[in-house]
Amino acid sequence: MKEIRGLILLADGCEEVEAIATHDILTRAGIKVDMVSTKDCHRIHTSMGLTIKVEKNLKEIENPYSYDFIVLPGGKLGVQNLEKNRRVQNIIESYKEQDKLICAICAAPSILGNKGYLDNKKYVCFPSFERGKGFYQEDKGVVVEEKLITGRSMFFTIPFAEEIVRYFLGEEGVKKIQQGTRGIRC
């Protein structure tokens, strides 16, 4: 089986739980995930005042277009910083053109909405970050629609990450991690 690889793009102001818990869940499932700084350094300052040290920044990634999927964590300032980064925008556009999975949570789906990627699609995001002409699902925590997975907020990070696992590894992949994440006996 081909190794599944994901790229989590981190900018200053990102929501740390959305980034770290997603990385944790995906790693437990055996999915290779790189958390990378979108700045030229290896430190990201999060929305709640923590500093995350990552192993790579975006310039050090040999080919950011070669991953199977990307994850865009939320956090209002983090999303603003992702949105104004031209390299990040090129990556998002390339993933859309290549029909690869794009995952965004909290405020980050607004980036996709601003590009028209949510038009005529069901999605969820943090309230007040609805963009585009899609169908906002107010009663959902996570929505999977074609090659998009969106999450409402930090509270829904684990179900959000589980949907990424489910997308690539099916229900068995999710069951595999639940013993360690939910304390469920196999």
Task: Please give the single-letter amino acid code of residue 1.
Answer: M
Could you give the number of structural domains in the chain?
Answer: 1
Please give the torsion angle defined by the CA atoms of residues 92, 24, 157 and 176, in that order, rounded to the nearest 10 degrees: 110
> What distance in Å separates the CA atoms of residue 54 and residue 111, rounded to the nearest whole number?
23
Structural domain harbouring 99? 5-180
**pTM attached to this predicted model:** 0.96
Q: For 75, left (φ over 0), alpha (ψ -120 to 50), or beta?
A: left
Query: Quick check: is 186 in a domain?
Result: no
Query: Quick check: is 52 in a domain?
Result: yes
Query: Quick check: is 185 in a domain?
Result: no
Spell out the per-residue pLDDT of the chain, length 186, in tens.
Answer: 689 999 999 999 999 999 999 999 999 999 999 999 999 999 999 999 999 999 999 999 989 999 999 999 999 999 999 999 999 999 999 999 999 999 999 999 999 999 999 999 999 999 999 998 999 999 999 999 999 999 999 999 999 999 999 999 999 999 999 888 888 776
Query: Quick check: is 175 in a domain?
Result: yes
Query: Quick check: is 18 in a domain?
Result: yes
For residue 25, the SS3 value is: helix
CATH code of 82's domain = 3.40.50.880
